[in-house]
Structure 1
């Protein structure tokens, strides 16, 4: 698989570790890195600032083998998320989107993205309005709604997403399944709910597929676990695995990420 990750990136700044520790991240960036980790190819298209964090981000992404030929440096600040780690769980604080605030794909970016197998963006990526054009041009589209599928950006992307992901802590309930059916009726081919310790659920328009978790001996940090699942699932489904096999691949990839600090 060749994945085009577009949109949001950010420095995850852990204020309660070693007097402050900065880790490069952001959903699409993470997915690009995890795709390479799994043996696929990926690129990241998006903006960073011309500050120290932008330099850190650029070098770190490139070092992981991700194509950064369309990573743009803009005048201003790189996006930063304030994070605290409490008992292995991440707690998010303030978020400054910096140069992402006015981001939009250029024509050259769109041409480049369409040389890939699938493009993925998330809720904060700013390009949901360009998904119709990407889908019209024939590339498979994936969107991560995080835990906010009712937000405007998610609703805009939903009809133009082949693979729609969102997170929920509710577990497998009748209400969740009805919610997924409603989302599927709006256009996605597959709707995937990531349920944390309850595993994941996928609806293909006819039936539900359910997969649990791959056990982890010790959870160090949950940062990036959902992004890992998405990368594994997309690689699996693009490479011809069944839905159930792709779900298992996503779950196994998520478990690897639980074992260390930061997204990667």
Structure 2
């Protein structure tokens, strides 16, 4: 199983403690997929600073393919994080060199050697999704909590597995997932925090609850859910089994500080 994740990365800086952890949606997904047993590659840019060195080393140590992780002149992206209880609140975000991220023809050819490609809403990768589909790739995209973003309508036709973050199972999110499916996504999924998860495949809804865990830090929970879900799909599991695997994967992530 070969999966490529593409786009943004950042160093998560916990302001109160001064601790710094590598992260970013595509990076996290690549790491979690590797831990599940997939061959994962991360394609992105880091800066020429010490954070960039640290990011490359950390990802490589996890066994993720970093042959197409580039270091550019400038700063690595940084997100400032504050813990409120056990939940994290994102503060200022400096994109650094990732603000100008693009893919080369060689990188596109490399991505095409994989079964599935994943990116997120902050990664500047959306313009390549029609190409990914032309190359025969399965596609996954994390829209985060940006349910009103214009990309939901324009990008979903090229996304097989569309992920969203919401708060509860209600009439609004059910209608929303139906609409995402109707414009092209095969399966639309919403993670609902403490209320579990919900998926729609054009025929029916699927629900799953939560796994009890001692919550230390919720950083990376959504990304690890996505990893479990798409790993399950590529293994041929049912949607219910994928929701279960995503939930179990996320339950491990919230037991420690940082995404991984």
User: TM-score range with shorter-chain normalisation?
Assistant: over 0.9
1:52-201 superposed matches below 5 A: 52-169=50-167, 171-201=168-198
Encode CA deviations 1:17-46: one digit per residue, 9 max, x unaligned: 1xx111000000000000111111100000
Q: What RMSD, in angstroms, separates the aligned Cα atoms of the two structures? A: 0.9
Distance 1:143 1:80 in 2: 22
- Partner SS state of residue 180, structure 1: helix
Q: Which residue of structure 2 aligns with residue 254 of structure 1?
A: 250
What number of residue pairs does the alignment pair up? 260
Over 6 Å off, 4+ runs: none
Q: Distance in 2 between matches of 1:11 and 1:245?
A: 32
Partner residue of 1:4? Answer: 4
3-state SS of the aligned residue for 1:73?
Answer: strand
Residue 149 of structure 1 and its aligned partner are, at CA, apart by 2.8
Residue ranges of structure 2 left out of the alignment (5+ in a row) = none
In structure 1, C-alpha distance between the alignment counterparts of 2:78 and 2:133, rounded to whole Å: 30
- Give how far 1:157 is off: 2.3
| Post-superposition CA distance 1:3-62 (Å, at most 9, x none) | 101001000000111xx1110000000000001111111000000000010000000000
Residues 168-215 of structure 1 deviation map (CA, whole Å, 9 limit, x = unaligned): 01x111111111111111110000001011111000001001111111
Q: Distance in 1 between matches of 2:98 and 2:163?
A: 22
Residue 233 of structure 2 corresponds to residue 237 of structure 1: yes
- Describe the superposition over 1:221-260 as per-residue Cα deviations: whole angstroms up to 9, x where unpaired: 0000000000000000011101110110000000000100
| 1:152 shift after superposition | 3.2
Structure-2-length-normalised TM-score: 0.98
Q: Is the 8 A contact 1:167 1:194 kept in 2?
A: yes
Instruction: State the secondary structure of the residue aligned to 1:181.
Output: helix
SS in 2 for 1:59: helix
Q: Distance in 2 between matches of 1:260 and 1:154?
A: 32
| C-alpha separation in 2, matches of 1:114 and 1:150 | 30
The Cα of 1:117 is off from its aligned counterpart by 1.2
Tell whether the 8 Å contact from 2:5 to 2:29 is kept in structure 1 after alignment. yes
Mapped to 2, the partners of 1:23 and 1:197 lie a distance apart of: 24
